[in-house]
A and B are shown apart, each in its own frame.
Chain A
Amino acid sequence: MTWTDEELVARSRGGDVESFNQLILRWERPIYALAYRVIGREDDARDVCQEAFLRAFRALPGFKGQAKFSSWLYRITLNLCRDWIRRHRRAPVSQLPEGADPVELAAERGAVESIEDLAARRELSAAVEEAMGLLPDEQRTTIILKEYHGMTFQEIADLQGCPLSTVKTRLYQGLTVLRRQLERNGQIQGAVVKRV
């Protein structure tokens, strides 16, 4: 039987540790991806992910279900990411794991792609990551939450504690900067609509 998040939260609050472990299993990938995209470091993202679940587990008795469990978890994670960025006092950086071979990395992700496709995707992925690293924290986080986690503008606004219009403005400004940056890197060609 598949429990909903709310049901698992209720069971966890009742002392069922395994229910919380199911929540971890369900959400650790998205939470890790969020942390990685915000801070840009694999090991630190994993630490943030672990810490987020630990804090959630500790704070579970105080979680009354006024928000979705995932939104609550995202908030905890973003707070940890903000602390990390503040501690390191710098923008997130793109980082390939030490000793990693980009071709091997790409090969792990899909054997059906050709080498050329893999190389192109790696190049594009690196360009996107680099461009994202240039954005201000608020714009970057807004894009990540909207683009990769499918949150609504209202959810993002609640999470970031800002008006809905601000979320849209951050998103537009962030996407515009990204577009220019990717154009500069040759990943996007200008005036697309003229060719469509």
Chain B
Amino acid sequence: MLRITLNRAVSAAILIVIASIFSFILIAAFPGNVAALIAELRGGFVSQEVVDQVAEEYRLNDPLILRYFHWLGDVVQGQLGHSLRTGESVAEALAERLKPTAVLVVGGSLVTLIMGVSLGFAGALWPNGLADRLIRVFAVFNVSLPKFFLAAMLIYVFGVQLQLLPTFGFRGPASWLLPCIAVGAVPGALLSRLIRVGLEEAMAKPYVITAKAKGFARRRILFRDALPNIVPVFLTAFGMNIAFITQSALIIEPIFSWNGVGAYFVEAARFRDLPVLQSCLLMFSVLFILVNLAVDLIVMMADPLQRRAKRG
């Protein structure tokens, strides 16, 4: 167990190194003269002198390897540079914008969980009931529905037609509701189907037939005997959903005018704000690598089959 854990940790560390190289290379691959771009963005007259000065300041004349290690040292110390557009410190800007994104990810996960678990279990408890039919309808649309379309429809129905909920800005729990639903509904539909189908399959196993023969109620069999079967699958799917929901932040935050990290990233991409792009990509990559590692380890601990198979 310990050896596998260490193994996974080492792979994750290698991935983080690749992520840092990738984030760094992106800027080195910038087509054209970075120094000239920076000088231009700073405004004023762009002379060769100014460009040279900028190049000196950003160490653009150093060899690539030196620049990489220099940059890495800065990043480890928490210095992510300054935005080319506004001049503010990237680290501070990120910290400032973390809250809306955190709300979106946690809220979206809650929506996913509530929707997935309640629909999934209701579907398994009452086969062909309302919940079961809903799951089947969602199954057609779930991966096909564009997130921004879902968000636009939510805005139209709840904001424009019914005028129930605010559709603009990050202002208190009422304004959190629509974005969280927009982010969590699709993974919720996936999760519900997964739970429903997993339970159904478990209910067909021989030991469940034995339990039925003993005369236990369907509900008891479902929760006591079938439930543990879907735990590893559930955990893996839920871990994936975190990546999915975080990714949705890129699209949902701009729609609802939230000032989150996702919107920051998109804005940086629009204005070619290189230090921001670099920092955001690195931060998200490291986050995903760590989440994947955590999910892997938790699933391994939760799944006796996998634990035993890997030891042997």
Partners in one complex: no
